[in-house]
Amino acid sequence: MVILQTLVKPIRPRLISPPKHKSSSEGSAKLKPPSTISEKVEVQEHQICDVYVYEMTAKLPAGIKYRPKHDLYYFAGGSFVMPASKEHWTICAELARELPEYRIHIVGYPLAPKNRAAQSLPILRKLAVELCKKADKQNRNVTFAGDSSGGNIAMSLGLFTADEAIKEGDRRTQLKNILLISPAVDLRNRNPAITTTNRRDPVMTEKHIKWVADQWVGDGITADDPAVSPILANLTSLRTLGIKVHGIIGTYDVLAPDTIAFRQRLEEFGVGGEWLEWEKQMHCFPLAYTYHLRDAVQGKNWILDILRDHA
Q: How far is CA 127 from CA 17, 41, 43, 214, 236, in A?
A: 29, 24, 20, 24, 23
Nearest Cα residue to 128 out of 101, 113, 109: 109
**What is the Cα–Cα distance from 1 to 7, expressed in whole angstroms?**
10
Contact 24, 112 (CB under 8 A): yes
Nearest Cα residue to 276 out of 243, 309, 298, 291: 298
**What is the Cα–Cα distance from 105 to 43, expressed in whole angstroms?**
9
Q: Which residues contact 252 (CB under 8 A, 6 or more apart)?
A: 5, 197, 200, 201, 202, 280, 281, 282, 283
Residues with a known catalytic role: 148
Give me the residues paired with residue 52 across strands. 47, 108
Give me the residues paired with residue 75 across strands. 146
